[in-house]
Amino acid sequence: MTRFADFAALGRRLERARGRLEKRDEVARFLKALAPDEIASAVAFLAGRAFPASDPRVLGVRGLPRESSRGPDERDAESRRDPGSPGGDERGGESRRGPGPPGRDERGGVWGAISGPPTLMAPPTLMDIAEAFADVAAATGAGARRARDERLARLASRVSADEREFLARIIGGEMRTGVSEGLLLEAIAAAWGVDVAAARRAALFLGDLTAVATLAAAGGAAAVAGASPRPFVPLLPMLAEIADDFPAVLAAHGGRTALEYKYDGARIQLHRAGDRVQVWTRRLSDVTRSLPDVVEIARRDLSGEPFILDGEVVALDAAGRPLPFQELMRRFRRVHGVEALVREMPLALHFFDCLMAGGRSLIDAPYERRWEALTAVTGGRYLAERRIVTAEPEALAFRDAALAAGHEGVMAKELASTYEPGGRGKRWFKLKAVETVDCVIVAVDRGSGRRQGWLSNYHLAVRDGETFAEVGKTFKGFTDAQFVEMTERLWKLATADDGYTVRVRPEVVVEVEYNEIQKSPTYRSGLALRFARIARVREDKAPGQATTLEELRHLYERQFHTKGRASGVV
Whole-angstrom Cα distance, residue 513 to residue 367? 32
**DSSP letter string, 495-526:** EEE-SSEEEE-S--EEEEE-SEEEE-SSSTTS
Whole-angstrom Cα distance, residue 569 to residue 377? 54
Q: Which amino acid, 43? A: V
Q: Is 541 a catalytic residue?
A: no
Whole-angstrom Cα distance, residue 460 to residue 463? 10
**Residue from 23, 262, 413, 541 carrying the catalytic annotation:** 262
Encode burial over 109-120: b for 16+ CB neighbours within 10 A, e otherwise.
ebbebbbeebee
Task: For residue 44, give every residue at least 6 positions away whose Cβ sits within 8 Å of its Cβ, in sequence order, or none.
Answer: 50, 51, 52, 53, 55, 210
Contact call for residues 41 and 126 (beta carbons, < 8 A): yes
| Strands 266-273 vs 307-315: parallel, antiparallel or unpaired | antiparallel
CB count in 10 Å sphere of residue 221: 15
CA-CA-CA-CA dihedral for 394, 399, 400, 405, to nearest 10 = 130
| Strands 455-464 vs 436-446: parallel, antiparallel or unpaired | antiparallel
Whole-angstrom Cα distance, residue 547 to residue 330? 25
E-only strand ranges, 144-195? none
**DSSP letter string, 423-447:** -EEEEEEEEESS-EEEEEEEEEEEP
Phi/psi at 5 (5° precision): -60, -35
Task: For residue 210, give every residue at least 6 positions away whose Cβ sits within 8 Å of its Cβ, in sequence order, or none.
Answer: 39, 40, 43, 44, 52, 53, 54
Helix (H) or strand (E) holding 240: strand 239-242
**Bridge partner residues of 467 (DSSP):** 464
Q: Which amino acid, 343? A: R
Would you please indicate which residues are annotated as catalytic (active-site) residues? 262
